[in-house]
Amino acid sequence: MKDHKNVGNMLNLMGIAHAKRKHYRRAMKCFNDALKLRKAVLPEDHLDIAETLHNIGHCSTKQGNIDKAMEAYKESYDIKSRGKGSDTLSAVKTLHCIGMLHEQDGEYEEAQKCYEKALDIRRVNLGNDHLEVAYSLHSLAKIFKRQNDLQEAKACLTESLEIKRAKLPANHVSVAESLHQMALIHNENGKKEEALHCLRTALSACESNLGDHPLTAEVLESFSDVYESRGDYNNSLDFLNKALEMKELMYGEESLSRSDTLYAIGKIQEKMGDLDETLLTFKEGAYAHLFISLLSWFSPCSSKFSSLALLRYCTLTVPLPSLISFAPNSKRTVMEIRKSISGINSLGVAAVLNDVGLTQLRRKEYEIALRCFEDSMEVWRAQLEDGHEFIGETLVNMGELNSAKMDFAAAVENYVEAVDIFKEKRGATDISVAYVYSKLGDTLVRLEEYNNAVEAYQQCLSIRTLALGTESLQVASVNSDLGSVYHILGCHEQARQILDESLRVMKDKVRVSDDKLADTQYTLGTVLMKLKRRDEAFEHFQDALELRKKRYGDEDLLVANVLGEMGSIYDSRREYQKALSCYNECLRVRQMHLGNVESVGDMFLKIGNIDTSLEDNESALENFSSALGIYKSVLGEESPGVAKVFNSMGTIYGM
């Protein structure tokens, strides 16, 4: 029996040695043999058994077998709790590992309970200023951040950093880890300079202590996130490229981590407007996923973790023979591979498909975008529970696609389902819920369901005001949308007040070429026209015209609309030559873009009326004749437009 115990001890030590060298399969065999021997000769609640179970949990985690790891850790914790009491440091170590597994599975409330219990025990046994306490605080902070409780996350990180800085060198890696997490919180709170300061310190520590290391790459990518949120896409791209180069050195070109960075680069390229380069980047990342997935599937020692969705996407851009050439057996067709391959990696691929679909949507390749979103949704619904937030994100994308295809009823269904999912998963006041309400409001306007649009915009406004404050540009943006709908509903004074407030915030924060600012100026001008405040309206139209021309040039329809409104004001002032100049330019642009439509007939009628005032009856009759022909063709013989033309012509003939 003693020999059995000694052999068990030796096997356990051998397993630890193999695990340190990352030879987890060999380590697992040693631990399993050690566990069998120890259970045979030791009491069932002996701590040596608990130790081996803990080691099995560690190796199972490294091998990706989370269920087996959780089972081993829980059995180990149960023994340690019974054997020496639940407040021992040995039990706390295992409890912390259980929390990590819950966190990895997205079970944040369960992880929080484990980390909080571990923290309490460590405070009692080690004191408030011990490094183990700092490590527990760091883990707890990450959980709070994942649950969007940034205030609690910051408090935990602040205390963790105080302990670490007192106990460790300033450039220690553990200090850098906490600074990195603090930077993420500062960034989400809008404190960009504080975030950059933390990241600079963290990067310096990582570069001096770690060199090319996953944490260093993470910090570089976080730099990119901060610069991206500031709209500084060039700096964002620079840091992503540095992270990509580092990952290539660490993992090689066919790694999933490198592929993830490629997709992040693609997203920045998309925001910079380089859609062709975006697709090339996405395609390079897709090949990496495809290579790894097929390599894993064809390897007899690996699990099947590729995805149907990825292969279906690749057939959009890769010839079938290229796909078949990956297979060592030519009899195995692509269709057979599609039917056979599935698993965990398809979740990552589904996220990629979302990004590819969005890029194709921006390029107006709607059918390809639809196939990407449908494939992505197929993976989400097959592998995730109903109502998962990833499903909600794809629904939002599909809503945008359906809106672009003018299928507004389908878009409303997408957005409503997405709102319900986000409210359930993220809370009713989460900023993402506000975004979907905004998109829903836009779509309801297109359906002319204005009262429902007002309700959607008000929901968006309430959430954004609570989360971001009244001076936020996002609050100003939805106020602009809300004011426009009130204007359509005839609530002109209410619309004026809301648009005034929106414009006040926008003027301080938006670039002079911003579309939303021009839209708001134009809409406020039209509202003031309804309120007979033409001089104020004219000032807003002038500002809108300057912005529109600067961004789109002279021959844009939106420029024409502003000129039409300014012409009306000049007309009311009897400044007829200026009115004619505006009307004629508006007419030229509208005819060029739209042909003979009702709004073109309106311009001919207005120009004819000015000609009448200037006693140029020949020109007036020519313009009236053009208006009459358009109204009859577009609206019919009995339309009000036809009656208006006859009434104006009667003025010339003295009728």
For 479-490, write each residue's pLDDT tens digit.
999 999 999 999
pLDDT cut 90: percent of the chain above it: 44
Measured in degrees and rounded to the nearest 5, phi and psi for residue 518 equal: -65, -45
pLDDT band at 286 (very low <50, low <70, confident <90, very high): low
pLDDT surpasses 70 at 335 = no
pLDDT band at 359 (very low <50, low <70, confident <90, very high): confident
Q: Which pLDDT tens digit goes with each residue over 515-561? A: 888 899 999 999 999 999 999 999 999 999 998 888 888 888 889 99
Q: Mean pLDDT throughout 452-469?
A: 93
- The structure tokens listed for 451 are 């009262």
pLDDT of residue 491: 95
pLDDT surpasses 90 at 263 = no
pLDDT of residue 86: 45
Q: Mean pLDDT throughout 131-135?
A: 92
Q: Give SS3 for 550.
A: helix
Residue 137's Cβ-side half-sphere holds a number of Cα atoms within 13 Å equal to 24
Q: Mean pLDDT throughout 142-154?
A: 89
Q: Which pLDDT tens digit goes with each residue over 155-196? A: 999 999 999 999 999 889 999 999 999 999 998 888 999 999
Residue owning tokens 């009667």: 650
DSSP secondary structure string for all residues of 259-279? HHHHHHHHHHHHHTT-HHHHH
Side chain identity, residue 44 = E
**CA–CA dist 385, 391 (Å, integer):** 9
- Burial (Cβ within 10 Å: 0-12, 13-18, ≥19) of residue 316: middle
Strand ranges, E, within 334-459:
none
Angle value at C-alpha 31, between 25 and 32, nearest 5 degrees: 90
Q: What is the average pLDDT value for the chain, to the nearest integer?
A: 83
Q: What domains appear along the chain, each with residue ranges and CATH number? A: 469-552 (1.25.40.10), 563-655 (1.25.40.10)
pLDDT surpasses 50 at 328 = no
pLDDT of residue 346: 61
Q: Which pLDDT tens digit goes with each residue over 583-611? A: 999 999 999 999 999 999 999 999 999 99
Task: Give the pTM.
Answer: 0.57
pLDDT of residue 421: 93
Choose among 333, 326, 321: nearest CA to 297.
326
**Residues 6+ away with beta carbon under 8 Å from 210:** 173, 216
Displacement of CA 133 from its chain's centroid (Å): 34
Which residue would you say has higher pLDDT here, 288 or 352? Answer: 352
Q: Which of 7-11, 59-63, 287-291, 568-572 has the highest average model confidence (pLDDT)?
A: 568-572
Q: Which alpha helices (H) appear in 470-597, and where do they start and end? A: 473-488, 492-509, 515-530, 534-552, 557-572, 576-594
- The structure tokens listed for 586 are 């508006």
pLDDT of residue 368: 83
pLDDT band at 509 (very low <50, low <70, confident <90, very high): low
pLDDT of residue 304: 33
Q: Which pLDDT tens digit goes with each residue over 202-260? A: 999 999 998 889 899 999 999 999 998 888 989 998 998 899 899 888 877 666 677 77
pLDDT of residue 4: 57
pLDDT of residue 336: 34
pLDDT of residue 289: 52
> CB 628: neighbour CB atoms within 10 A?
21
Displacement of CA 160 from its chain's centroid (Å): 30
Of 294-308, 342-356, 456-470, give the lowest mean pLDDT range: 294-308
Instruction: Give the torsion sign (CA, 53, 54, 59, 65).
Output: positive
pLDDT of residue 274: 67
**CA–CA dist 463, 359 (Å, integer):** 28
